[in-house]
Amino acid sequence: MNYQDLRATLQSHFRTLRDTAIKEIDAAGGLSSNDRELYQSNLAVAAQANETDRPLSLAKSDDDLLARFIAQYQLDIQPGTDEYGNLERDVKRGYRRFLEDVLAYDKSVASFDLDPQAKLPVGVVPETQAGLTLSDVIKDYTSEKKAGKNWAVKTESEKLKHLDLLKEILGEGTDIRSLGAQEAQRVKTTLRAYPVNREKNKETRGNRPLSEILDLPGVPKLHTTSVNKYLQSYGDLFNWAKQNGLIEQNWFSGLFIRQNKARAQDNRAAFSAEQIQLLLEAILCNRDGLANKDYQKWGPLIGIYTGARLNEIAQLHLKDIRQVEEVWCFDFNDEGDRKSLKNSASRRLVPIHPALLQLGLLAYVEKLRSERQTKLFPTFTYDAKNGWGRHLSRHFNNTLLPKLGIKSKELVFHSLRHTVVTMLMQADVDEPVVQAVVGHTRKGVTQQNYFKRGYTVRQLDDAIRKLDFKCQV
C-alpha cells in the first residue's frame, strides 16, 4: 500500500470512529460529563503530542494504537521504517481530528439547534464531497488557467510539475478543507529536501516513492529560489480555492523562504562590449563553422539587436516581419501555431535595426517566401516544455559560447536581453521606452492605465538605432 492509499485508509478509519461516536451522541442526547471530560483530556494530550512530536500518553500508548491499526488492515509495516514513521505521525493527527470533531458535534447538540437534525458546525469536515479533493480542485484550477491563456507554454509545464508534486506529498484524494498549517509546513519541509532533476538523476528517477528520495546523500537539493517557486504555485492554487469559496484560509499564503536580496536577484549578466564583438565576429565570419545554419546566424543577431526573449524569436512567422508606418518591424505576438507570450506586455512591435537590414535579413525572408515557407526558422520543432527555441538555445549556450571561451552560469542567450536594456539605458533612452522595446510590464498608474496605445513606431525606432555595437567585421 503506497502512502496515498495508506492516508486514505487512515482517514476512512477515523471517519468511521467519528460517525460511531456521533450516533452514540444522537442516541443519548449528548456526551455525559465524564465522557466529555475524557474527550477533552485526550484532546489536550493529542494536541501536545502533535506539537512536540512526543508519543500519546493514553491508557493505550500510540504504539498500541498503531499496532491495532496495522493488524486491523493487515499492513506489512515494520517499526523503524520511514513508512512506520509516517503512519505514526498521521495516526496522531487523525486521532486529534477525531476528538475535535466529536467535541464540536457534542457542542452543537448542547446548543439545542431548532433544525430537525443536529448538523456538524462550521469547521467540522464531513466525508469528502465531489469536487473538493485536491486532485479535483487542481483539475478545475488548471482548466480555468488554460482557458484564460494565463500561462505561457513553459510556465504551464512548470506549474503542472509543481502541482503533481503537491498531489504526491499530500495525496490526491485529500479533502482540501482538511488541510491546515501543519500540512503546509510539511510541504515546505519536503521541498527543502527534494532532489533537483528527479527525473534525470539515476539515484532518483523511475517510480521510487517520495520517502526514498528525500535527503539522499550526495544528491543536490532544490535551490531556495526553486523552493519558493513551488510554494508560490501552491499559494496561487489555494488563493484561487479561497476566492471560489472552497476554503476559508490559504495556509500557503506568505509561506516562502526569505532570501538575502543580493543573492535572490536575477543571476544573469549582460555581455560586455568585447564579448558582443566576439559573438558578432564568430557569427558573421562563420568562424570555426559556428554559424553554418541560418538559425545559428539570424537567431543570435536578432537577440543582439532587439533584446527579445529566445522563444519570441524562435516562433516568428514570416508574416511577423512587416512594415508599419514605413518602418520594418518584428511583430511579436501569440497568433499562430502554438505560439505563446510571457504576458500581455510581450505583445509588441519592435523596429528592425538598420544593421539587420544591411546584413540581408529581408533577403533571407524573401528566399523563404519563395520556398513557400511560413516560419522564419522552418526547421525548428516544438517542445511542450521549451516551445520552439530548443535548437537555438542548445547551439548558443552549449556550442557558441563555450567555443568562444565566454561560457559561464551568468552568460546565456537571455543575457542578450540584459545587454540591450543596459545599452539603451546608458544611451539615455527613457525607461518606459526601454520597457516597450523589450516587452516588460510598464510601471506606474499613468503607464498602466492611461497610456494604452503606447509609443509610436518612430519613437521606438529612434531608441533601437541607439544600439551601436560598433561592429568591426
d(CA 126, CA 123): 9
Place of cell 456538524: 120
pLDDT at 197: 87
Distance of CA 66 to the CA centre of its chain: 37
Q: What is the pLDDT of residues 217-241, one digit of tens each?
A: 888 899 998 999 999 999 999 999 9
Average pLDDT of every residue of the chain: 84
| Averaged pLDDT for residues 290-316 | 96
> Are residues 351 and 462 in contact, defined by beta-carbon separation less than 8 angstroms?
no
Tell me what percent of the residues of the chain surpass a pLDDT of 90: 42
Joined together, the cell numbers standing for residue 161 give 510539475
Which of 134-138, 207-211, 429-433 shows the lowest mean pLDDT across its residues? 207-211
| Averaged pLDDT for residues 80-85 | 79
106-131 burial code (b ≥16 CB/10 A, e <16) = bebbeeeeeeeebeeeeebbeebeee
d(CA 52, CA 134): 28
Which span out of 81-95, 295-309, 327-341, 454-468 was modeled with the highest average pLDDT? 295-309
d(CA 198, CA 206): 9
| Averaged pLDDT for residues 4-8 | 73
Topology, domain 273-464: hpI Integrase; Chain A (1.10.443)
Q: What is the pLDDT of residues 349-394, one digit of tens each?
A: 999 999 999 999 999 999 999 999 999 999 999 987 778 999 999 9
Above 80 in pLDDT, residue 260? no
Q: Give kind and range of the element (H or E) at residue 348.
A: strand 348-351
Report in angstroms the alpha-carbon separations of 342 from 149, 339, 374: 10, 11, 23
Cα pseudo-dihedral 54, 57, 63, 69, rounded to 10: -110
What is the secondary structure of 97-145 as a DSSP string?
A: HHHHHHHHHHHHHHTT--SSS--PPTT---SPPTT-BHHHHHHHHHHHH
Structural domain boundaries of the chain? 3-110, 134-264, 273-464
> Are residues 328 and 357 in contact, defined by beta-carbon separation less than 8 angstroms?
yes
Q: What is the pLDDT of residues 410-449, one digit of tens each?
A: 999 999 999 999 999 999 999 999 999 999 876 554 444 4
pLDDT at 60: 42
This prediction has a pTM of: 0.56
pLDDT at 263: 47
